[in-house]
Amino acid sequence: MSSEEQIPDTSEKSILVWLESADVQRRAALMATRLAKNYGLPMTGSDLYQIVVERFIRYSTQKPLKPIDHPLAYLYRVLVNQAREISKKDPSSKTVPLSDLTEDSLTDNFETAQRLESGILLREVLDSIDEKEREIFTLWLGG
């Protein structure tokens, strides 16, 4: 089952099988790590991901279950919401008022985020094509 398709059967087993796929775990762990760092959480991305998986397991045991049309987007939303919730409860989380930030620091962060996102997208494209296409693409890029 790909990470983008609908979970066809919302049974507990189906949700757990989807959560166990390597692609879903890789994407969610990356997102959780980013969120933990960005929100200054007192935990690692792995800890955040584990909390969200526990929420998915609790959800999967509720009856009746509603189908999840876009499970990866739903998983990301749950990760973001959980990170925000933890950040609000933890007084040591790093929050800085927007007025304290200079325009230069915002621009630098935006450019860094763009470079990171471009690298992630490039890695996902390279992972999605076969080896011959990957070699042709990397030669085309000059590397």
Provide the domain limits for residue 142: 96-143
**How many independent structural domains does the chain possess?**
2
Same domain, 23 and 90: yes
**Interval 21-40: pLDDT, tens:** 888 888 888 888 888 888 88
pLDDT per position as a tens digit, 5-16: 555 455 556 767
List helix spans (H) across the chain.
12-20, 22-38, 45-60, 71-89, 103-128, 131-141
Average pLDDT of the residues in 79-90: 86
- pTM of structure: 0.55
Q: Output the pLDDT for position 1.
A: 46
Say if residue 12 is in the same domain as residue 70: yes
Q: Do 103 and 42 share a domain, yes or no?
A: no
For residues 86 and 118, state if they share a domain: no
Overall residue count recorded for the chain in this entry: 143
